[in-house]
A and B are shown apart, each in its own frame.
Chain A
């Protein structure tokens, strides 16, 4: 497979996963806030911006983080590089360059989703109901695409690059969602009052919700929802599809199938050690430590993705 095309197909997959994450975040977050009528609009909505590290970009054109502002920004804003709209623009651009590799039926599914988003997403204010319907539609399309690719694409290098892109993006998103939670938890009064415990529980519950993991937590962890167990479930569990460990082990398995894989796999070994060495009880108690830990994980993941780029993709063009 051509190195240039491999890079396009890898990014196509990353953006598809990113679109799904954005849909999931906005949707789950809106629903969660319905349970917290007392939280001020701004305090409630700003985490969506922070998860995606878009605080600066948001501040450029927006004042307060109202529901309307944040949702427009995350869904429709064509100046926000991370908006759903622009994610689909990136999907379409990458799709162009690997059109000859993607199965025709998958191409049509992805292309139709791009046309759908372009047509439906506008800056015109959406009611929460309309928004939820739109996000649901986009999500079904993305799931259909993922199924379509899995069942019709030849499971060779091209498919493996899609897997790599998807797992990296997924691991990254799981860590971001936990990270924002650490920022939230510092907002608590730090006391051990009942109110604070309830508040903390609510926060961790929302993290689990965002990652579609509540039901699985209840079935497999069984303890009342708390910080340490939630962190263990989301970071260390080896069967939960969005847990950090699951993603990087998957990543490693995929890499093992390539002819050349030493550099990126060496980077994963390091990342894995770092992940498993964490004292989760301690991290659950000290939000600032949790933030530092997640930060370090993200840097190591970045090392993995650079190693992938150096090993397989076309070197940047000399100018």
Chain B
């Protein structure tokens, strides 16, 4: 049979296939299994995955002029594979990063030591649109503000992993990470029996534990606060509520009672709610405190939170560390609070606020990526090499009008992974969004959500802009039971599936001291 990988080529670093055309050792099994599939089998697997996605109702909502429509979640059936040894290093780096970020946010709203010591300029924080003076003096449980963080990781041409941004407001995507695995199990069950793929489905119970650690109430009532059925991430909101055994609430379901506690309106009247996992931006959660026209929020919620009568995750004000200019200071922030060198690299970043760096950005608009400080979803950014002179001129004007609000970064050639395009394997650029939970303790998802830019050469992975996704496999390549599995397969057909039933060894549980 023809080798599917022989004419496969990546413009940079490929996650699965080495420069010599061989699969990376930890991905060898899946690569050869994929190679052995007949074209008919391959397309029937793809079809099975799409059918499963439709039946399971895995959707995301797109706003268009025809109203809001549900689109089926795009999943490419070729997995992205990561060596568990490498993953454990990344995991350490993410924990280090989120711990430092939470210490930073707590400091900003309390002592402001890092500003007084001139490590981060005071002016930068005070002009940040996500800094909330209303939160000054707050001391949330465990001094943690960002309980759920989605950091975007990319790999450059030389194989280095960089953190591209930290999403500390309402990061989404984790439900797709879990559902991608479910779909893959339906579509490619055999591969799971051959490889040692670490599971991803503990997230809902980990999230529940994290949220429960924010209140003294035993077995608390948790609400997932959603903007409603038309929100692009509504699927995820309902998924997490269902999986955690939480209530999926909208602003209109909640009231603050005369004692200042938050209640939800049930068929038996008002009932207390102890923890709110809000998927609504800060500025909309309380019309009394922030945007007075917001119909998504709850009147008096901020006061209830300040008085310690309800826990909110992520805490209001946590988004201040989400600012892309603040991002450029994260290595300094890690050194300042933890007295450690950062384990994960930042992408080199030019701050347009600084005259010299701004000039560099303005002179290199055709090669840099320019991003606004406080947007998400890939909006408002310029990718130099793929932009027109008009777009560059517009961006130059934006930068000059509001230099504080822009940063520039070199355009990375993101790593690629083989992706099924019209029945052949093509290299497409990808990123990775792992999720970090921090409450009483800290925990990182195994892998994360891999997003893939489906158009050739494109670097835009956002699903709202034509991106797809992949199941992310963290595999134990040199796991002891792997060799055992092979030898048993050879010696005894009857018992060949025994080793697969052994519990998979997971990384040691995180302790609060980490």
Residue numbers of A with Cβ under 8 A of B are 1-6, 93, 96-97, 99-101, 104, 107-108, 111-112, 115, 157, 258-260, 311-314, 317
Quick check: A108 and B267 within 8 Å, CB to CB?
A: no
Instruction: Check if B266 is an interface residue, CB within 8 A of chain A.
Output: yes
A-B contact pairs, 12 of them (CB 8 A): A1-B266, A2-B248, A2-B264, A2-B265, A2-B266, A3-B267, A99-B239, A100-B248, A104-B242, A107-B57, A115-B55, A157-B267
Quick check: A100 and B238 within 8 Å, CB to CB?
A: yes
Cβ–Cβ < 8 Å partners of A260 in chain B:
267-268
Within 8 A of A (CB), among B228-278: 229, 234, 238-239, 241-242, 246-250, 252-253, 264-268
Cβ–Cβ < 8 Å partners of A6 in chain B:
267
The distance from the CB of B249 to the nearest CB of chain A, in whole angstroms, is 7
Cβ–Cβ < 8 Å partners of B113 in chain A:
none
Contacts between the two chains (Cβ within 8 Å), count: 62
Of the residues B242, B246, B267, contact of A99 by C-beta under 8 Å: B242
Instruction: Check if B56 is an interface residue, CB within 8 A of chain A.
Output: yes
Quick check: A259 and B55 within 8 Å, CB to CB?
A: no
Instruction: Check if B19 is an interface residue, CB within 8 A of chain A.
Output: no
The distance from the CB of B231 to the nearest CB of chain A, in whole angstroms, is 11
Cβ–Cβ < 8 Å partners of B248 in chain A:
2, 5, 99-100
Quick check: A314 and B265 within 8 Å, CB to CB?
A: yes
Instruction: Check if B119 is an interface residue, CB within 8 A of chain A.
Output: no
Query: Assuming A4-B252, A5-B248, A97-B229, what are 11 further A-B pairs, CB within 8 angstroms?
Result: A2-B249, A2-B264, A2-B266, A3-B253, A6-B267, A100-B242, A100-B247, A111-B55, A260-B267, A260-B268, A312-B267
Cβ–Cβ < 8 Å partners of A96 in chain B:
229, 234, 238
The distance from the CB of A305 to the nearest CB of chain B, in whole angstroms, is 15
Bound complex: CA A217 to CA B195 (Å): 61
Cβ–Cβ < 8 Å partners of B421 in chain A:
none
Enumerate the 9 nearest inter-chain pairs by beta-carbon distance, A residue then B residue, closest first: A100-B242, A99-B238, A100-B241, A312-B267, A111-B57, A100-B248, A100-B238, A3-B265, A112-B55
Residue numbers of B with Cβ under 8 A of A are 54-57, 229, 234, 238-239, 241-242, 246-250, 252-253, 264-268
Cβ–Cβ < 8 Å partners of B55 in chain A:
108, 111-112, 115
Quick check: A1 and B267 within 8 Å, CB to CB?
A: yes
The distance from the CB of B262 to the nearest CB of chain A, in whole angstroms, is 14
Closest B residue to A7 by CB, please name it: B267
Closest B residue to A259 by CB, please name it: B268
Quick check: A314 and B268 within 8 Å, CB to CB?
A: no
Bound complex: CA A3 to CA B266 (Å): 5
A3-B265, A99-B242, A100-B248 are known contacts. Are A108 and B56 too (CB-CB below 8 A)? yes
Closest B residue to A5 by CB, please name it: B248
Cβ–Cβ < 8 Å partners of A99 in chain B:
57, 238-239, 242, 248
The distance from the CB of B36 to the nearest CB of chain A, in whole angstroms, is 31
Bound complex: CA A101 to CA B246 (Å): 10
A96-B234, A100-B242, A260-B268 are known contacts. Are A4 and B54 too (CB-CB below 8 A)? no
Cβ–Cβ < 8 Å partners of B247 in chain A:
2, 100
The distance from the CB of B233 to the nearest CB of chain A, in whole angstroms, is 13
Quick check: B242 and A4 within 8 Å, CB to CB?
A: no
Cβ–Cβ < 8 Å partners of B253 in chain A:
2-4, 314
The distance from the CB of B451 to the nearest CB of chain A, in whole angstroms, is 24
Of the residues B239, B250, B268, contact of A4 by C-beta under 8 Å: B250
- Best-buried of B242, B264, B267 by chain A (most CB within 10 Å): B267
Closest B residue to A99 by CB, please name it: B238
